[in-house]
Chain A
């Protein structure tokens, strides 16, 4: 039955009448309307299609073809149908959750093992944020001390609402068709648990008496993917966790949405990379570029960042820095370490109020897996490189900087065990001598590129936050590639923007600028005239 009229902005739906007559089908959700069973078929993820709304007949035909194809496969291939039912377990479970339970239970569970954990109530009056959710968690000592969860516990303003029991299921059956089938599904699932698990449940956890239990199930669906789902049992009197038909009589069951909130799940779901968690990275220079680099490295899962900069956050910094305005007057490093830990619960970002060379002389550089420098000061950067050479340091270093007027930005990765170093990018391309400006630059040296609107000491390079962010993302990608072991050789990378603003200021550009067509490509860093790399 086609149940929609044109125009079509998504695939028009066909409903199945009495779908149960052909058994339980994957991708078909069943509703009852006026005692008639109606099956809604999910044939696509709506956002992945571009619909020809100007040709509705074609859209109907295509939709019908997809419906037929999907249903045919479900009916004629029972194994595939079963595995699809398991694959969509989580979304089916969500479908039977109460409409008002839109806030998922947050669960800080590290292992899929039989265990019991505390459940904390939301904080009264909290409309949003972690404190507005029911929360299951054990003490996770790897969380930042100033993450919302730790702060929330430290504030001691959360009531314990009850207990959660985590039950791993070895053989998952498809999710209940509707909330009426939840009890039956629960009892079947409990009774199909291995005897050892059931007896442990009875002996170990059967001693408690509670009016509410949160049961968190976990099981593998298909392709080793693990799913987590939960239900809540509420009773009037304090009783043990009901595990049989008889004991379940006085309990109300409701399916709950759940969000797993642990490093493995949360970091990876957000695109982070777990193996980076233990890398130690120093970011020196917490200006517009450095702060973005630190942010992106934290977002990638790097926990142990050391932020180095002696400067205060000033009101002038607001429009090209990631810190919020309430940090004005604070040290940039202190503010950013707090901001990072507040956003990324497992961040352990530290801070130091050093200049580059102070930091170099008072710390062991080899303790770091990577040092990222974003100070935009070629003199200090070359001095630091010489310091590393003199001390035979083997730490890898990324130098990143941008140029004014949005013309571009650059980064070098100097891995001491490979050919190519920072000084290669400073070799004078005309004479082969050690130069004073990077040969990667797009703006010719010895020009007035600073703006001055407030006198001496108030000069600044004209660029927008988009330029610094672009440079930072490029440098952060390079850092992540290196930390992941994907970039094993020294290299350089640049992005090139337009020169219209530079031209308007009468700024002269380099030959490299006009001929550069390798934005964001990793190019070899070594220069044949570099005195460090060629002997």
Chain B
């Protein structure tokens, strides 16, 4: 049984998709909250014209967090012609709905309205856009923001999703390669959750990691088509460290900068501390060393031990060098696949 197979098993354990059973409850809550929002907005004269999922569930990069809760990242869009000039006005409508439904900690943050579900490990972020033509504008502002900080800010949420899902730059087996980068994103997010304390970990934003991994992705597929996530992760982390994401500020101190590739092109880590940047830089270097060590190791068991050290217990270590699972037949998860074979 190959190392790649171990990575796939690890991936199967950590991945979280919107259609997964474990997400079923969140999905149903999301759906009923959305119904309430539609009514509330309609009654207020700002009918919702569009809604979509944002965040990791829209890019198939979501993972199960070992401790924290599930996220719902919901975007609702209203017509710019109907929208109030003050974006906080519509955010208040969201707050009202969430409070009515008994959410705890419901509050208006600068880019969204956020809340936690009572009695459920469920965290919800709702963002509001107004749309004119193809241009989306994000409702920015808090309850106590002054007029200057209450703005409709040009934004390209769908383009961001498209950017992360885009496989057009890959030549040959593009689907295979985009799936590989998505797995790497999940591995690194799990690594972050394992390696950073909860406080710093929260500041190593998923979108920042996602953009770095996507943009510096180095696929590893042998000429014969054999996929190696280990080699790809190693090469990609190395490329990230060699790129200009980490800005030297002092001896051993770094600031991390990752710009959005779409409007508003802001630095995801704009307000991050040097400590966050330094920790991320050092831990990525440590990960690279471990990945190199794993690659140079002949024993599958020892390789898995090294990787378990990086990713936690969900990365399994076989009891013996020759895995008894080898005798188990793993079948394809697809019912039918279209082929090009003929004779």
Give the interface of A toward B (CB within 8 A): 285, 287-290, 374-378, 400-404, 428-449, 461, 463, 468, 471, 508-517, 523, 527-529, 531, 534-535
* Min distance, Cβ A299 to any Cβ of chain B, angstroms: 20
Q: Could you tell me if A375 and B326 are in contact, using CB atoms closer than 8 angstroms?
A: no
Q: Could you tell me if A514 and B171 are in contact, using CB atoms closer than 8 angstroms?
A: yes
Residues 171-195 (chain B) with a chain A CB within 8 angstroms: 171-177, 179-180
* Min distance, Cβ B221 to any Cβ of chain A, angstroms: 5
Q: Could you tell me if A429 and B343 are in contact, using CB atoms closer than 8 angstroms?
A: no
With A433-B330, A436-B334 known to touch, is A447 a contact of B5 (CB < 8 Å)? no
Q: Does B82 contact A (CB under 8 A)?
A: no
Q: Could you tell me if B337 and A436 are in contact, using CB atoms closer than 8 angstroms?
A: yes
Q: Does B328 contact A (CB under 8 A)?
A: yes
For A428, list chain B residues within 8 Å (CB): 332
* Min distance, Cβ B129 to any Cβ of chain A, angstroms: 33
A-B contacts, 18 listed (Cβ < 8 Å): A376-B341, A378-B341, A401-B341, A402-B341, A403-B341, A429-B221, A432-B2, A437-B341, A441-B340, A445-B339, A461-B342, A471-B343, A508-B175, A509-B173, A511-B172, A514-B172, A528-B2, A529-B2
Residue with the highest number of chain A CB atoms closer than 10 Å, among B180, B224, B334, B337:
B224
Q: Which of A374, A436, A447 contacts B343 (CB 8 A)?
A: A374
Q: Does B226 contact A (CB under 8 A)?
A: yes
- Chain A residue nearest in CB terms to B8: A431
For B179, list chain A residues within 8 Å (CB): 430
Residue with the highest number of chain A CB atoms closer than 10 Å, among B173, B176, B328, B333:
B173
Q: Does B67 contact A (CB under 8 A)?
A: no
For A430, list chain B residues within 8 Å (CB): 4, 8, 176, 179-180, 227
Q: Could you tell me if A510 and B336 are in contact, using CB atoms closer than 8 angstroms?
A: no
Residues 153-181 (chain B) with a chain A CB within 8 angstroms: 171-177, 179-180
Q: Does B329 contact A (CB under 8 A)?
A: yes
Question: How many angstroms between the C-alpha atoms of A512 and B225 in the bound complex?
Answer: 5
For A534, list chain B residues within 8 Å (CB): 1, 326
Q: Could you tell me if B172 and A441 are in contact, using CB atoms closer than 8 angstroms?
A: no
For A510, list chain B residues within 8 Å (CB): 172-173, 176, 225
Question: How many angstroms between the C-alpha atoms of A498 and B106 in the bound complex?
Answer: 60
Tell me if A's interface is mostly helix, strand, loop or mixed: loop
Q: Could you tell me if A438 and B330 are in contact, using CB atoms closer than 8 angstroms?
A: no
For B171, list chain A residues within 8 Å (CB): 514
Q: Does B66 contact A (CB under 8 A)?
A: no
Q: Does B320 contact A (CB under 8 A)?
A: no
Question: How many angstroms between the C-alpha atoms of A424 and B340 in the bound complex?
Answer: 18
For A432, list chain B residues within 8 Å (CB): 1-2, 4-5, 8, 330
Question: How many angstroms between the C-alpha atoms of A445 and B336 in the bound complex?
Answer: 10
- Chain A residue nearest in CB terms to B330: A433
* Min distance, Cβ B208 to any Cβ of chain A, angstroms: 27
Question: How many angstroms between the C-alpha atoms of A69 and B172 in the bound complex?
Answer: 60
Q: Could you tell me if B338 and A445 are in contact, using CB atoms closer than 8 angstroms?
A: yes
Q: Could you tell me if B339 and A378 are in contact, using CB atoms closer than 8 angstroms?
A: yes
For B271, list chain A residues within 8 Å (CB): none
For A374, list chain B residues within 8 Å (CB): 343
Question: How many angstroms between the C-alpha atoms of A463 and B342 in the bound complex?
Answer: 9
